Structure 1
Amino acid sequence: MVLLFTSFLSLLTTVYGLTSSLQQVNNWSTASTNPTGVGMYLYKPTTVITPTPILVAAHYCGGTAQAYFSGTQYAAFADTYGYLVIYPNAPAVGSCWDVNTNATLSHNGGGDSLGIVSMVRYAVSNLGGDVNRAYITGTSSGAMMTNVLIGAYPDVFKGGSAFSGVPFGCFAGPYAWNTQCAMGELIMTPQQWGDLVRNAYPGYTGPRPKMQVWHGTADTTLYPQNFQEEVKQWTNVLNYSLTAQETNTNDPLPGYTRSIYGPSFQAILAQGVGHTVPEQANDVLTYFGLNAASPAPTTISTTIGPTGPTSTIFVPPATTVPPPTGVPTAAHWAQCGGIGFTGPTVCASPYTCQVSNAYWSQCL
């Protein structure tokens, strides 16, 4: 079975035209830096920019690093834009992430979260990773971990994007599964949710990462009330109003509504979509600035917390690789990938190539 799956990944690399392959990284950690034994897998394109941005892509419960590599577009986009992708592999039986223990919910406290953070630190120290451009995205359990890492490690990550997750601390407790949280019955005030994040790293006064959350209205695994609780939490942490500054319908897809609360937080609700919202890789990269063509430097003023100080942050221009020109593109609804497919693998704007299975991907 292992040999067959390895061959499948090699075939995917060939079919999708990737310049490199997924590699397991060994001997990168110690018991103190990776106490739960999270596995590290890395996709490093043949050509990277320097220093190299880092994207962590966390799989869903029951998934693996290899499955998330083959089922998402982050590696393919890395070839174009020159960033590293770290695919952590959950060590627990059932492959769910530890998002409930005090250790994982505390800055440098331990748990799976410290293992993932240690991968980023390793990439910065040994792989030319950019300490100022590390980001995290994930689906379901990986989305929960995204919330955890953005909350507990605001000094490490500059942004997160969570697909069908729950707020930071929602699953806190002795058990890996919390029915009250999952069913959207854990209702708290914005201040209470925000305090959970602030208490994860007491005394932290630096800038908070930007955050993007996605959820489906028909989710019966992690009920959509969790989306509303996430909105409460991150608007409070970032000192934004609960009333969105801008609301865009049918964005990025029909039936999706994007609510923008400020430059560092947006929430996208997908009408009629269950668990989970399909990953929108191009949208995520746009939000993180990983697919931008050398934007001008900006200065951002931000207030940390509801009553915290205001700080001014200078953000240097991103030295990313622009997308190739003259590349054939596939139209909306057209096939854009799959085993044996030889046509265009890049979709016409604003559509992205979504993987349905190993044999079929489509521009949506």
Structure 2
Amino acid sequence: MHPTPHTPARGPLRPLLAALLAALAPLLAAVALAAPPAAARAQVPAATLTEVTDFGANPSDLRMHLYVPDGVTENPAVLVAVHYCTGSGPAMYSGTEYASLADRYGFIVVYPSATRAGKCFDVSSPQALRRGGGSDPVGIRSMVDWVVRAYDADTGRIFATGISSGAMMTNVLLGNYPDVFAAGAAFAGVPFGCFATTDGSEWNSACAGGTVTRTPQQWGDLVRGSYPGYSGPRPRMQLWHGTQDDVLRYPNFGEEIKQWTNVHGVGQAPAATDTPQPGWTRTRYGGTGDRAPVEAISLQGVGHNLYAPGMGARVLAFFGLDASGPAPQPPAGACRVTVTTNAWSTGLTASVTITNTGTTAVNGWKLGFTLPAGQTVTGGWGATYTPASGAVTATNAAYNGTLAPNASVTVGYQASHTGDSAAPRAFTLNGTACTTG
């Protein structure tokens, strides 16, 4: 009997199919790693510190440990907790209370581990100090992305905190990825870019010794230069430092304050000062509550090893994670800003109207905004504008500092530009976000 027309093809098809499946295997494995949330979650038992591998781009061979509480919330927040030199993710897990706080409030904790000699994070190389540069920050960003995919995490509630080397990395993460992190808390760190080296060294003695000083504008420019062209909101920053720190000297604390107040376009003078407990001095900049753009806690007589139980709860209060479910958002700004611009080939004028939409009078105001790249203020009226570019603060004149409820004031400035003549996109009045339009 002659075979059917299809029979002769069966023999050759088997090796062909086998070869095809072999070729597809790596692709299928990659797809499995990249996503199905249920499959990814199955790798991580609840309430157990678990190592996750193959989490994405990881140019410096970091390790990732993850803690997911039994009561993880829907669309959870994510906290990245970064260890000190000689430490590890598991050491950070056992030496801080973030896992127990996650049990209480339902967020997820990521614990990165550095694997190089000394177990310090790279906060000094040119690669580390630019977005997507190819060092530790890239690996940590991949960890965050993995958690977001696996748990449908809330991308508006991603936070970072760290101690010593981890505090320095917190500064770096917020500089490189302002669109990823909503806020950070740095315990005994240094400003973004302070530890920079060009000779391959991981240690910068001048910075560690507290002898690197810059103007607020210069520090702010280092942050802005890590992600050129970014004009969106910046992460809030909480800073902690002991006055007797002999590893990363106390002057770094003041330099960090300079940097992050400039990044946020708020003044160097505290909006509020208090003593939350004996020996502590807390200053807040650009706002007076738990959600101020910058909060700084100085610990009198305390050395480098300043982290202690109870501080994690204060971190969560600053982040807004000290309640289950989504953190409440800051109240809508009690102000509205409208801007009209008139541009020509190399310059522009902007007319800015500020309206007090609150129920109480504003006595003395500072309007914060970020100019698009390439714009420089060359003159102004109705306010004093400093600095001339980047994150600018417009301070009221003597005659227009009081704004009654529903009252408005119009000020303006002239600026040069190199091609982008757009108006600023966001404004704050005395540290509070305003509606626009």
TM over 0.5: yes
- 1:136 corresponds to which residue? 160
Q: Where does the alignment leave 5 or more consecutive residues of structure 1 unmatched?
A: 1-17, 316-364
Kindly indicate whether residue 71 of structure 2 is the aligned counterpart of residue 47 of structure 1.
yes
Corresponding residue of 2:145: 121
Structure 2: 5+ residue stretches without partners: 1-44, 287-291, 336-367, 371-389, 393-422
1:306 aligns with 2:306: no
Shift of 1:292: 2.8
Return the match for 1:272 from 301, 319, 334. 301
> Aligned-pair distance for 1:131?
1.1
Q: What's the CA shift for 1:130?
A: 1.4
Corresponding residue number in structure 1 for 2:61:
37
User: Which residue of 224, 230, 253 maps to 1:227?
Assistant: 253
Q: Which structure 1 residue ranges, 4+ long, deviate > 4 Å from structure 2?
A: 312-315
Residues 120 and 240 (structure 1 numbering): CA distance in 2 closer, same or farther, change over 3 Å? same
Determine what percentage of the aligned residue pairs are the same residue.
48
| 1:238 alignment counterpart | 264
TM-score, structure 2 length as denominator? 0.64
1:182 to 197, 204, 208: 208
1: CA distance, partners of 2:425 / 2:281 = 30
The aligned residue for residue 295 of structure 1 is: 328
SS in 2 for 1:137: strand
Q: Match of 1:130, SS?
A: coil
Name the amino acid aligned to 2:332. Answer: T
Aligned to 2:238: 212
* Aligned-residue offset at 1:128: 2.1
Write the distance in 2 (CA, Å) between the matches of 1:298 and 1:50: 23
Following TM superposition, by how much is the alpha carbon of 1:296 offset from its aligned partner in structure 2, in angstroms?
Answer: 6.2
Query: Do residues 192 (structure 1) and 218 (structure 2) align?
Result: yes
Alignment: residue pair count: 293
Partner of 1:157: 181
Indicate the residue corresponding to 2:124 in structure 1. Answer: 100
Deviations 1:256-281 (A, max 9, x none): 10000122111110000000221410
Offset, 1:136: 0.0
The answer to whether 1:59 aligns with 2:90 is no
Aligned partner of residue 147 in structure 2, secondary structure: helix
Q: After TM superposition, list the pairs within 5 Å mapping 1:53-92 onto structure 2.
A: 53-92=77-116
Change (3 A) 1:309 1:276: farther
In 1: Cα distance, 2:213 partner to 2:82 partner: 26
Name the residue aligned to 1:25.
52
- Shift in Å, 1:122: 1.0
1:96-119 deviations in whole A, cap 9, x for unaligned?
Answer: 000001111101111101110111
Secondary structure at the aligned position of 2:332 is classed as strand
Please state whether the residue corresponding to 1:131 is helix, strand or coil.
coil
Please give the root-mean-square deviation of Cα atoms over the aligned residues, in Å. 2.0
TM-score (norm 1): 0.77
